[in-house]
Structure 1
C-alpha cells in the first residue's frame, strides 16, 4: 500500500508559565525573571527554517491548515511577538485560506485590550485554561486566576471580536461533588463558547500531585460526573465528537481533529513533538525538540535543537493510528487506515474481529468506530492494537 500525505499543521510550543501547576506534566517552566521572549520567537523561526531544509520535498505543495500555540502559557507573549512569528511563518510556508490559528491563554495573564492585538496578529481562536469556576478548586489546582477573572477574560475576548473560543474544564477534582462538576459545566455554557474541552483530572508521573496525591473522587463517582456532564453539554447544544471534546455545530477544533485523524504536524519550540509523512519513501517520522528552553535557545536552529528523530516502525503503526482515531466518537473511514499508515487493512483484521466480538468496536466494516462500551474501556481497546 502507498502512503498518502495527509493535511499538515503547525504546533508551536511556548514553554514559560507564571507558576507550575501541581497536576501539570507538560514541558512548562515557571517564571524566574523576565524570559527572552523576542529571542525565543527568532529561535522558533530558525527552527522552522531548519525543519524545512531537513524535510525538503516532504513539505512541498503542502499548506499549513492550522496553527496551535501551546505551552506553558503562550499568552505571556505580547501580540506584536505573536504577529512577528506568524508573519515569518507565512513567509516560509503558505497558510491555507481558512487556516485556524489558536492561542492557549491563561485568564490570569491577559490585560484589557490585549485580545484586539491578538486578533490583529492573526489569532482567530482562543483556548482558555479555565479548569473550574470554583475558587476553592482553582486554588487547590494551583491556578493563578479566580472564577470572576475567568469570566471577565472570556467576555473580553468576545468583545474584541474573537468568535471562536474554547474553554478547558476538568472534573473529578479534589473533593469535588457531582453537583460541583455540573455547576462548572453550567457556568461554562452560560458564557456561550463555541467549544468546550472536558476531561478528568489524572495524577501524572513526576508531578506534585503524583508525589502528594490529593483526595479525589472514586472511579464510580468520576464516571457519574462524566455521564451527567455529557448530558448537560448535549442539552446546551454541544455535540461530543471526541472523548473529551464538545462543540457547537461547525465549531470542532480543526487542529486537534488533524491529530486524531493521524494527520501531520511540524513541532517547533522547546520540547515540541512533530509527525511527518514522507510519501515518496513510504515512512512516517516523529521528531521532537530538546526540552529545556535554555538549551533550545542556545541551539539557535542548529542540530542541537533536535531531541530525537525516528521513523515509526511498521509494527507500531496500528497502535499509533488507533491511539488517535478511536478517540473520535464517530470514528474514521476504514480506508483511511491504509492511506495514513501504508499498511493494508487486512493487517489488523484479527484485532478488529476481536474488538467487535467483545462489543468494543462497531460492526460496520466501512468505519472504525468504538461503541459506547468501547469508549468506556478505551485504553483496553487501544492496547489491543499493540504489536
Structure 2
C-alpha cells in the first residue's frame, strides 16, 4: 500500500462548502476542437457523432459555418491564446487540403492561435485520404492521427472498416514520410483475436516508428450496431492478458504509458489531449462539438447541434448551441478527477484548486482512504494513481462521486 504524506497540517485545512462562490484567478490553457461529422461508412462499434456521407459532403457550406461558429464564440475567449487545434470526427480527412488551409488561416485571423500550436487532424487509411497527407502538411497540420485499428484483413473486416491491411501499411508509411509527429490508433480484444495477433498488430505499428500510439480495447458501446448485435469477443481474462502484454511490449520499445490508452516517446505526448486530462478549457465548433470554458465566476459546458443539417440550418439563424449550461460547483471536483486520474503522473495538488476553485481539503478524506487501499500515491508535489489504481480506475473514481462539497 502507498504511504500517505500529509499535504496540509490538520489545523491549516481550509473549510469546504458547496455554497462558496466560484472564483477563478487565472484562465486554464485553451484548445480548439473542430468536428467534421461525415464518414464514408459508419463503423459498427462507433458511438461518436458521425454520419455516413451520401455522395459529396457540403464542404463549402460547412467551412463557412465553422468560421461563423468561431466568430460567434469569440466573446467567450477574448485575449486567450489557443495552444492546440484538433480536427476530429467523423473523418476530417474527407475535407480537402484547401479547406483545411482556409480554416487554419481563419483561426489565425480570428483567434490568438499560438505560432507553435499543435495542430492535429484525424485521418483514415483509405487510398483517397492517404493521397492528401502532403497537402494537409502544407496547409499547416503538424500532427496526424491515423485510425489503423488493425493490420489484419480479417479483423478489419469484422470491424466494418473500409480499408485493408495493405492500405493501412501504406497510410502508416505516408504518415511517417510527411509528419514528424503522428499517432497510430490500434484496437485489441477484437472478434476472434488471439494474444499473438494483438501483439503482431503492435509490432507492425512499431515498424513505422510512430512517436505516439493509442491502444484501446474494443468495447461495444450503447446505441451502436455491436451493442445491438454483439460479436463474439475474447474473454475478459484474455483481454487483460492482451493489455498487459501490449503495455510490456511498448515499454520495452521505449514508450511511456502516460495515459490509460496512450503511449508516447519522450516529449511526444498529445498536447491537445493532455489539456483535456489536466481539465483545461476547450472551445468546440462544428456539429455536435462540446466546449468547456472557464469564466471568472463559473464554468460553462456547451454542445452544438448534433445532426449536420440541423447544425447548418440553426447556425444560419445564429443559433449554434443546442445545450448551454453552468457546471455546478459541487460537480467540479469529480469532473477534474475523472480526467486527471487517467494520467500516470496524476496532478499537482495546486492544480486541483486552480481548476475547480475548491480547496483540496474537500477531497482529502477520500484521497487518503484511496491511498490506504493502495489505489493512490499522495505527496506534496504529486497525487497519482498507483499501478493498481490505474488498473481499477473506475473503482478509484467511485470514491469521489459524492465529495460533500
2:106 to 75, 88, 92: 88
Partners of 2:107 and 2:316 lie apart in 1 by 14
1:205 to 222, 226, 230: 222
Partners of 2:220 and 2:149 lie apart in 1 by 15
Which residue of 2 is the match for residue 384 of structure 1? Answer: 399
| CA deviations over 1:202-227 (Å, ceiling 9, x no partner) | 11000000000011111111111001
Partners of 1:133 and 1:261 lie apart in 2 by 32
Please state whether the residue corresponding to 1:13 is helix, strand or coil.
strand
Please state whether the residue corresponding to 1:197 is helix, strand or coil.
strand
Which residue of 2 is the match for residue 298 of structure 1? Answer: 313
Matches within 5 A, 1:176-255: 176-255=193-272
1:278 to 289, 292, 295: 295
Q: What RMSD over aligned residues (CA atoms) do the two structures have, in Å?
A: 1.3
Partners of 2:69 and 2:157 lie apart in 1 by 37
Determine if contact 2:191/2:231 at 8 Å carries over to the other structure. Answer: yes
Partners of 1:137 and 1:109 lie apart in 2 by 19
Q: Report whether the alignment pairs 1:358 with 2:373.
A: yes
Please state whether the residue corresponding to 2:147 is helix, strand or coil.
strand
Matches within 5 A, 1:314-329: 314-329=329-344
Partners of 2:127 and 2:88 lie apart in 1 by 14
Calculate the TM-score normalised by the size of structure 2.
Answer: 0.91
Seen in structure 2, the aligned counterparts of structure 1 residues 31 and 113 have a Cα distance that, compared at 3 Å, is: closer
1:13 to 35, 41, 44: 35
Matches within 5 A, 1:1-387: 2-3=23-24, 4-53=26-75, 55=76, 59-108=77-126, 110-111=128-129, 113-159=131-177, 161-279=178-296, 282-300=297-315, 302-387=317-402
* Number of residue-to-residue matches in the alignment: 380
| CA deviations over 1:97-148 (Å, ceiling 9, x no partner) | 2100000000015356522211111100000000011110000001111111
Partners of 1:82 and 1:109 lie apart in 2 by 19
Shift of residue 363 of structure 1?
3.1
Which residue of 1 is the match for residue 6 of structure 2? Answer: none
Give the number of the structure whose alpha-carbon radius of gyration is greater.
2
Unaligned stretches of 5+ in structure 1?
none
Partners of 1:294 and 1:168 lie apart in 2 by 29
Seen in structure 2, the aligned counterparts of structure 1 residues 22 and 111 have a Cα distance that, compared at 3 Å, is: closer
Shift of residue 303 of structure 1?
4.5
Unaligned stretches of 5+ in structure 2?
1-21
Partners of 1:208 and 1:60 lie apart in 2 by 42
Partners of 2:28 and 2:276 lie apart in 1 by 11
Calculate the TM-score normalised by the size of structure 1.
Answer: 0.96
Partners of 1:79 and 1:299 lie apart in 2 by 27
